Structure 1
Amino acid sequence: MQPIIKWNKNVTQSGKEANHVKVKIAVFGSEAVIKQFQSYTGGQENIEIFPLVYSDPSETETLVEKAFMCDIYLFSGALSYQYAKEKIIKKRLPAVQVEVDAYMILMAFYYVKNYKQQPLERLSIDVPDASKVDETLDETGIACDSIYTYSYGKRDAAVDIATIVKFHEMHWKTGKVDHVLTSISEVEQLLHAKHIPVTCMRIPNLNIKHALEKATSLAAINQTNSVQIIIGYVHLKHKSAIQLEKGNAYGQELHSRLHQILHRYAEETNASIFSDENDRFVLFGTRDMLDHITSHYRDFPLMKEIEHALDTPVDIGFGLGLNAKQAESNAQLALETCGSSNKGACYVINERGEAIGPLGVEKQFNPSILYRSLIHKAKLNNELSYNFIDFIEVRNNEPFSSNDIANYYQVTKRSAERTIKKLLAGDVIKVVGEEKPYVKGRPRKLFQLNQTS
């Protein structure tokens, strides 16, 4: 099923981050209900709807498997949720339902009275929670002696359509009611077939709004985006030798030109730049600079610009950390790693102490083989397969965690972990280590492609 809004990565090739993170919501419902959601959410930039249309609610059990890249699962009806409930609980998937509340019941009463021309005193109703009907009746002053309510949410472990239909049919045949008001479209169809007058409650836009707000709030709670600090040390590799050969003035000119390049880079990535006592330039940034680096592992443009402008090797060491001290220590390690080569180099030491690099040097893999594995082994669709290939290319085939996928695609960690499970099940990736960026907490696994060429 294709999404309403086509999948877009929020990190562009220039490394700029979008101002908001789209919450990807899988909506399960009939074609009519899905169209209602489409109409309501059109133009909302913070929400991306993946419609999962069913002709029968029992299909949701299978449809759940197609929504693994979504952040949250939204069920338009209690029956559809019941069919998927076991998988939702087993996999601990975040899910919400459109609530059948007093407002929805009130709107249904209004429709029955004004459009069906049906008095409200002799009704048979089914809802998940009978107290919502009582609440509505109290507010409106409608006599409840001749209104019969079936509460399926509290009575049954699972919704039994046959029992609900039998409840309404019994009250109709015994002459106790003139009309049935149901919250389940399948009950409406079965009662129609029995020629029993019935109306199915329509989901008001207000309830859609509340369900979407609840879904986005829950997705936000599940997100675990930590604020990382990144520090970069930059220095001319052979500055002393250059000054001895060409003079101090030439060395200072190179230093000044390097400062200009780094100043532009700092402005582009919202970072700060200054010099330290070791005659090095220091870059200090957060999310924007990190996004730029992770988006250019294969073709690090800063390194190319410096080499072209100065015609002399330059070393760059970036360090990531959850605090400035950790980032500074990792930046120093990254710079020392550059010293193993006579040429200029750029390395990153992340918060788990792992070296990434050299940046700007391509690590090869075979996209065609990877694509076939993603389609046939991991069972991803075309779009997700191409997106993952882009991810591997941008990261230069470096080891990655579920957090790396979450940050790259701007999705929740839970959504990224579901992708990882698909890739592991298809033997597309393998575990190559662990990371532990926090003092407390469970280590995160690191993954890499099973193929290398």
Structure 2
Amino acid sequence: MIKIAMIGSKDFCERTARLLDPNSDISLVSYIYEHPKEAKSIIPTLTPCDAILFSGSLPYHVSLDELEKLQIPAVYLKQNETAIAMTLLYLSTTRHVQLDAISIDIREPIHMTHVLNDLGQTVTMPYIHPIHPEETIETITDFHLSLYRDGKTVMAVTSIHAIYERLVEQQVPAMKMIDPESNILQTLEEAKQKALYVRSKSSQIAVGLIRPLTMLNSAEEEAAELAGLLHGHAIASENGHSVFTTLGNIDKVVSTTAFQKLFQRLSSKAHLAFGAGESTIEASQHAEQALSLSRRPDEFYVLDGSKQLRGPLPDHMDDRIDMQVQNPIMQEMAEKTKLSPANLSKVMQFGKFRNAKQFSANDLALYMNVTRRTAERIIKKMSECGYIKIAGEEMTYKQGRPRALYELNFPLW
């Protein structure tokens, strides 16, 4: 069973539960709020689950800070053009309300424009209020209320259950945006598939290699303690220790205080690296590769079964480098430039980090943690193939020639 925590209004949670097939392999647990911004405080109260489903974009976005602390996927019900079209169809055929007499709050106003354009005729737009995550419920409620009291509208349509209840209290004719059943079921399926992916990746076999800095160092005590933290077991070898566990256990443990203290002790005696894969042989090979990349004992890398390299840890938990070519653009670049997938991946990440700004060879060297000469060689190879172009020059503070400035000349996404 895939256990999904639903965070939303009572109406949303009850409707979603009714739509779920009784024979489904999804189990739903409801966490009901009165106000969307309460979602953030709900996150720390969740019992163990495989994924989180939010009723909309507003509760999802206000919870992002808390979600970053979790290692499970989160999705939200997206308000698309189908939802808007169904709502407008209902208003025109059942309520017989003209569009220009409607006030509506929506996350993406462009969806409304697309729906009206698809009608193929000139129509007057309703009064639209774009929803922003930091906006208060009172502001959106006042938008609908003032238009109705001024006689400009006869109906308010809202995407937020709390606003609907407030409008009803103020005796304003209101309705909630219709969420099509298909949208809800598709979002549930999305949450399920993401949960299955995370579960399969977490269950990968992982091996941690501990290699003493010198023959005089013994890390036997630390290896046993690490195995205990990782719910695995340690085996001594001629050149150190191997700790067998799963990738999921590593993900859960490396950010804990207990591991940080252990690693501080261990780094004075030995190098550490982790590898994961479909078998212990593959995991051990990946751990050896990760170990070969470690330059200092106070940092370590994790190379998973997809050849994604994480680290250096513990300071760079979210940094990931592709050690094999899968992207067609990167594959072509690797063939032309003869650069390694790791270096190309770092350059691509550098481009995203710089947000398409001009850069110098020194900027690239600092980001990649390589010498300036190495960065210049990478730039030269990519320039010869047209993937980097000269954008100008930068005067230095000291005497000497101006430094060349470059721009990346390939898609980053």
Change in CA separation of 1:405 and 1:146 when aligned onto 2, cut-off 3 Å: closer
Deviation of residue 110 (structure 1)?
Answer: 2.6
Counterpart of 2:29, as a letter, is F
Structure 1: unaligned runs, 5 residues or longer: 1-21, 229-319, 327-349, 357-398, 407-412, 446-453
In structure 2, do the counterparts of structure 1 residues 355 and 67 end up closer, same or farther at CA, with 3 Å as the change threshold? same
Would the alpha carbon gap of residues 354 and 213 (structure 1) be closer, same or farther in structure 2, given more than 3 Å must change? same
Which residue is 1:280 aligned to?
Answer: none
Does the aligned pair in 2 maintain the 1:25–1:47 contact within 8 Å? yes
Aligned partner letter, 2:234: E
| Corresponding position: 1:193 with 2:169 | yes
Larger RCO, structure (CA 8 Å, separation 6 or more): 1
Match of 1:25 in 2: 4
Matches of 1:112 and 1:48, distance apart in 2: 34
Contact in 1 for aligned 2:74/2:191 (Cα 8 Å): yes
Q: CA offset at residue 149 of structure 1?
A: 0.9
- Secondary structure of 2:66's match? helix
Q: Offset at 1:92?
A: 6.9
Q: Does 1:436 align with 2:316?
A: no
Q: Give the paired residue count.
A: 248
RMSD: 3.9
Over residues 377-429 of structure 1, what are the superposed CA-to-partner deviations in whole Å (9 max), with x where a residue is unaligned?
Answer: xxxxxxxxxxxxxxxxxxxxxx98564769xxxxxx6xx66xx97xx68x8xx
Within 5 Å, give how 1:44-59 maps onto structure 2. 44-59=23-38
Specify which of 179, 189, 194 is matched with residue 155 of structure 2: 179
Deviations 1:251-289 (A, max 9, x none): xxxxxxxxxxxxxxxxxxxxxxxxxxxxxxxxxxxxxxx
CA–CA distance in structure 2, aligned partners of residues 73 and 27 of structure 1: 6
Residue 75 of structure 2 is aligned to residue 99 of structure 1: no
**Deviation at 1:82?**
3.8
Larger Rg: 1
> Residues 404 and 173 of structure 1: is their aligned pair in 2 closer, same or farther, counting only changes over 3 Å?
closer
Matched residue of 2:63: which SS? helix
Shift of 1:321: 8.0
Q: CA separation in 1, counterparts of 2:101 and 2:128? A: 11
Question: How much has 1:194 moved relative to structure 2?
Answer: 1.9
- Map 1:59-98 → 2, pairs under 5 A: 59-67=38-46, 69-89=48-68, 94-98=73-77
User: Residue 95 of structure 2 aligns to a residue in which SS?
Assistant: coil
**1:354 corresponds to which residue?**
234
Distance 1:225 1:44, change over 3 A: farther
Q: Partner of 1:354: helix, strand, or coil?
A: strand
| Structure 2 equivalent of residue 34 of structure 1 | 13
Structure 2 residue identity aligned to 1:199:
M
Q: What SS class does the counterpart of residue 7 from structure 2 fall into?
A: strand
**Inter-CA distance 217–160: structure 2 relative to 1 (3 Å threshold):** same
Asked whether 1:127 is paired with 2:106, we answer: yes
Secondary structure of 2:185's partner? helix
How far has the Cα of 1:191 moved from its partner?
Answer: 1.5
The 1:45–1:405 alpha-carbon spacing in structure 2 relative to 1, beyond 3 Å, is: farther
Over 3 Å counting, the alpha-carbon distance change for 1:404 and 1:91 in structure 2 is: closer
| Residues 77 and 183 in structure 2, CA contact (< 8 A), matched pair in contact too | yes
- Give per-residue Cα distances to partners, 1:1-43, cap 9 Å, x unaligned: xxxxxxxxxxxxxxxxxxxxx4332210122211222122233
Per-residue CA distance 1:190-242 (angstroms, 9 max, x = gap): 222222111111322111122123223333443425666xxxxxxxxxxxxxx
CA gap of 1:129–1:92, structure 2 versus 1, over 3 A, is farther
SS, match of residue 26 in structure 1: strand
- For 2:42 and 2:245, the matched residues in 1 are separated by 27
Deviation at 1:111, TM superposition (A): 2.6
Maintained 8 Å contact 2:6/2:52: yes
Among 69, 89, 95, which residue is 1:116 paired with?
A: 95
Q: How does 1:232-311 map to 2 (within 5 A)?
A: none
For 2:109 and 2:177, locate their aligned partners in 1 and report how far apart those are by CA, in whole Å: 15
Say whether the 8 Å CA contact 1:122–1:146 is kept in structure 2. no
Question: What is the aligned partner in structure 1 of residue 179 from structure 2?
Answer: 203
The change in CA–CA distance for 1:202 and 1:402 in structure 2 (over 3 A counts) is: farther
Alignment check: 8 A CA contact 2:148 2:154 kept: yes
* Partner of residue 213, structure 1: 189
**Counterpart position of 1:344:** none
- SS class of match (2:4): strand
Q: Letter of the 1:178 partner, please give it.
A: V
| Cα pair 2:158 2:176 within 8 Å, conserved | yes
Identify unmatched segments of 5+ residues in structure 2. Answer: 210-229, 237-242, 267-271, 276-286, 294-299, 303-312, 314-413
Distance in 1 between the 2:100 and 2:125 partners? 6
CA contact 1:79–1:159 (8 Å) conserved in 2: no
AA matched with 2:114: E
Tell whether the 8 Å contact from 2:101 to 2:152 is kept in structure 1 after alignment.
Answer: yes
- Sort the Cα spacing of 1:157 and 1:55 in 2 relative to 1 into closer, same or farther, 3 A: closer
Per the alignment, in what secondary structure is the counterpart of residue 133 of structure 1?
Answer: helix
Instruction: Rate the CA distance shift 1:50–1:109 in 2: closer, same or farther, 3 A.
Output: same
CA distance in 1, matches of 2:39, 2:19: 22
Deviation at 1:90, TM superposition (A): 5.5
Structure 2 counterpart of 1:436, which letter? F
- Deviation, structure 1 residue 125: 0.8
Distance 1:402 1:67, change over 3 A: farther
8 Å CA contact 1:146, 1:176 repeated in 2 = no
Once residues 38 and 177 of structure 2 are traced to their aligned partners in structure 1, the CA distance between those partners, rounded to angstroms, is: 21
Amino acid at match of 2:178: R
